[in-house]
């Protein structure tokens, strides 16, 4: 189930609020001794999070299906997608915040009210230990709670109607995403030549879908370390194509050129890779201002990327 993008819902006592974690959405399936982890685009994640596989296997229940978020935490305990992207290079812990229980044994709970699923989830995880953690939720004084989440450095909050069913695959208005900072996913449509001492590439050229059209959103050239530059370049090179698939390209001077324009220092790629990017705002021309790369989103399809 996905969350719609909207402002905070009305303060009528019918909603609960959770921290919006900055990580990988993961379904964790336990069936006897077997455990499977899956991303939201149906990629297996057992090899990525072996500690979580072991922890789910130890849960004192024969079978269950959990929904949650795998995160890397910084020294203040805040989730960071950039740390998760570079987890092999850091010692920051990876934890799994479980926030929903879809199956308990053979019982399908998806049509039960969310608040009931929450209570059942708490009982299933009563003996769970790190890296599994129960996602805390709040029901009183939403304005105060959201301010506290923001001041603590959270990326945002997810508000959920307490009576909501779990609508698999849908972006329902009964779950609402409230963002404190600007940032979202973008499709990588090309890259520029590196300059000075930088290797592999200079900046990633970004886009997003508007219906079936791929719209240019700007370039991002900060937020990369040497390992990220090398890794991303190795993924980009096999995807190269002669012409851009975005409909509009903007030169640094601000002049627009038609589809098919090819700058001398630009290389175009098939729109298959997705980047997580933070930025300060959109310009009037629809270009990202002060973007910073956070990591590749292996858990999201390029065709699902729209302007939020």
Residues classed as catalytic: 20
CB 302 within 8 A of CB 285: no
72 touches 94 (CB < 8 A): yes
Instruction: Count CB-CB contacts under 10 A for residue 140.
Output: 10
Contacts of 82 (CB under 8 A, 6+ apart): 223, 294, 295
Q: What is the DSSP string of 110-155?
A: TTS-HHHHHHHHHHHTTT--TTEEEPPEE-S-HHHHHHHHHHTT-S
Query: HEC string of 15-42?
Result: EEEEEECCCEEEEEEEECCEEEEECCCC
> Quick one: which H or E segment has residue 2?
strand 2-5
Write the CA distances from 146 to 149, 255, 280, integer angstroms. Answer: 5, 41, 20
Please, is 10 exposed, middle or buried when counting C-beta atoms within 10 Å of its C-beta (0-12, 13-18, 19+)?
exposed
């Amino acid at each position: 189930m996905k969350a719609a993008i909207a402002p905070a819902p009305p303060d009528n006592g019918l909603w609960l609020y959770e921290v919006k974690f900055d990580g990988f959405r993961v379904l964790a399936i336990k069936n006897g001794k077997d455990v499977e982890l899956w991303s939201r685009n149906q990629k297996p994640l057992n090899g990525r999070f072996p500690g979580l596989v072991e922890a789910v296997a130890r849960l004192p229940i024969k079978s269950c299906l959990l929904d949650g978020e795998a995160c890397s935490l910084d020294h203040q305990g805040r989730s960071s997608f950039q740390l998760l992207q570079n987890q092999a290079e850091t010692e920051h812990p990876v934890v799994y915040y479980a926030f929903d229980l879809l199956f308990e044994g053979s019982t399908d709970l998806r049509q039960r009210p969310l608040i009931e699923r929450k209570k059942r989830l708490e009982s299933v995880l009563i003996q769970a230990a790190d890296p599994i953690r129960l996602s805390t939720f709040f029901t009183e004084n939403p304005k105060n709670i959201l301010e506290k989440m923001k001041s603590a450095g959270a990326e945002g909050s997810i508000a959920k109607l307490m009576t909501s069913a779990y609508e698999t695959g849908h972006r329902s208005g009964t779950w609402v995403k409230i963002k404190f900072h600007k940032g979202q996913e973008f499709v990588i449509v090309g890259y520029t030549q590196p300059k000075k001492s930088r290797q592999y590439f200079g900046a990633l050229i970004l886009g997003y879908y508007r219906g079936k059209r791929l719209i240019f959103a700007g370039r991002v050239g900060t937020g990369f370390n040497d390992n990220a530059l090398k890794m991303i370049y190795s993924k980009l090179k096999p995807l190269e194509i002669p012409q851009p698939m975005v409909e509009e390209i903007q030169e640094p001077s601000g002049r627009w050129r038609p589809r098919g324009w090819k700058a001398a220092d630009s290389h175009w790629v098939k729109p298959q890779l997705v980047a997580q990017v933070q930025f300060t705002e959109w310009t009037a021309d629809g270009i990202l201002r002060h973007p910073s790369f956070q990591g590749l989103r292996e858990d999201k399809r390029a065709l699902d990327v729209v302007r939020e």
